Amino acid sequence: MQINVLAFGQIAEAMNGESFTFSNINTTNDLIDYLMQQYASLKTLDYKIAVNKQIIHSNMPLNNHDTVALLPPFSGG
């Protein structure tokens, strides 16, 4: 199983890239745990998670080819 991860703003800077593919990650909590191990600076950043363009508020299962976006805080103007 593969999932696509898109990072934006300061999250992309912390991860040194904007687009990633990861394998064998089954839930959003698994993904966050993995990212925290790989990119320690994410621990200090605030961000929301969207799965297939829907912001989520709790752990959820991931399916093959899902797209997860890591969204930093933003404001309108």
* Residues in a beta bridge with 5: 20, 68
> pLDDT in tens for each of the 77 residues of the chain?
999 999 999 999 999 999 999 999 999 999 999 999 999 999 999 999 999 999 999 999 999 999 999 999 876 65
* Homologous superfamily of the 2-71 domain (CATH): Beta-grasp domain (3.10.20.30)
Q: For the chain, give every domain's residue range.
A: 2-71
Q: Tell me the C-alpha distance between 43 and 16, whole Å.
A: 15
How close are the terminal C-alpha atoms of the chain, in Å?
39
